[in-house]
A and B are shown apart, each in its own frame.
Chain A
Amino acid sequence: MDFTEPVVLVLTSLADGPKHGYALAKDIEDFAGAKLGPGTLYGALSRLEDRGWIEALPSDDRRRPYRITAAGADCLAKHLKAAQRVATTGLSRLDLRPTI
């Protein structure tokens, strides 16, 4: 599955515990400044659930919480480490760039 931005944001948000749709949207807005629309958010949730990277938890009301699975956490960790290497390299090269 492609690591689109919404997928990474949802997995990152769920990394510190289960959340339902609205809590996810607020959390993502807080830590990333991104306002995910409801269609985008649930599109990512359905893809992640199909893939087995998140799972829905039982709930008494209609706000169903989701949690990240071990496979999802593993894939997120690998993706973030790779992204971190790219970010570190890019930033260091920007620092080396001669100023005009």
Chain B
Amino acid sequence: MRKDQPWPVALLSAYPADWRARYGDELELLIADLRAGGRAPIPMAFDLLCGAVAAWVRIERRTLMSQRSRNALISVLWSWVAFAAVAAWFGHDLAIYPSALKVAQIDPSHPAVPDAYHVLLAAGAVGVAATALAAITFAINAIGYARRCGRRSTFVLMAVPVVIAGGWLGGLRLLPAGNFTVGNLTLAVGWLLLGVAGIAGSTQAVVTVIRSTEFSERTWRIGGVAAAAVTAVMVVATGATITWGVAERASQVHRGDASGWLIVTAIMAVTTARAVIALIGARREPAGKPVAA
């Protein structure tokens, strides 16, 4: 503080550093102008102290909200990835999901059963769209933040899922097909496990970017909407899978045991419950206590 400045200017040091960096100069001039215009210093000082308290409260609240959003989003992300991987891969591999033909065969004997096939397709489309929207929004924000702060590691981490997906799918084409020898099966199982590890590694890379980047409020809002959308998708898809599985087993169409369907639906139900709990927990957590991831 310079000697020619009115003493209330010293109270600017009570404001948060970020706030002072943005508005400090302007506020300093305003105090000087108001004082020169005849404004009494004591009410001005009291007003500045109240303003400083309000600025701190706002920053604390924003940090807490950001932390809650971050942890809830990461929980939903892990749940959604596990859910989608199980639903897409194992569900497909075990031929658990209904085909249009099976649905047509079941419908006449069970007219009350909803068309789970179409429900699953619609739920999948909504889930993919919500994920893509959130991914693009967060990626743009993360790139901007990484450029501003010179964080090269963010770009490396963002490239991880793309490189892993490209490498794994490329390798899939090279696997021998149709010849069920022990060696080929071992290779296939090994490649599958490598794929699971790749999914986990890619998700962890995304989580690291989410943890290390300061996202805007708008990005968090979009992330929150996307998290709510994919959680709703998980609830609907789990319900549809259960409904269809029960309907098929109650009809004359089903052949074979139910273990694959039960395992898949159990994993879907658990991951869905995890996502629902994360979202509810983020909303209910009392102020001052961040939600654990």
A interface residue numbers (CB < 8 A to B): 20-22, 25-26, 35, 37-43, 45-47, 50, 62-64
**Which one of B42-50, B184-192, B198-206, B252-260 contacts A?**
B42-50
**Which one of B23-31, B87-95, B102-110, B230-238 contacts A?**
B23-31
Chain B residues positioned under 8 Å from A46 (CB to CB): 19, 22-23, 55, 58
Identify the closest chain B residue to A63 (Cβ): B29
Chain B residues positioned under 8 Å from A63 (CB to CB): 26, 29
Q: Is there a chain A Cβ closer than 8 Å to B214's Cβ?
A: no
B interface residue numbers (CB < 8 A to A): 8, 19, 22-23, 25-31, 33-34, 37, 39, 43-44, 46-52, 54-55, 58, 217
Chain A residues positioned under 8 Å from B43 (CB to CB): 37
Chain B residues positioned under 8 Å from A43 (CB to CB): 51, 54-55
Min CB distance A39 to B, Å, is 2
Chain A residues positioned under 8 Å from B33 (CB to CB): 21-22
- How far apart are the CA atoms of A20 and B285 in the complex, in Å? 40
A38 and B217 contacting across the interface, CB-CB below 8 Å: no
Q: List 11 A-B contacts (CB under 8 A).
A: A21-B26, A21-B30, A22-B29, A37-B50, A38-B27, A38-B31, A38-B51, A39-B52, A40-B50, A40-B51, A62-B28
Chain B residues positioned under 8 Å from A35 (CB to CB): 39
User: Taking each of B19, B30, B52, which has the highest tally of chain A beta carbons within 10 Å of its own beta carbon?
Assistant: B30
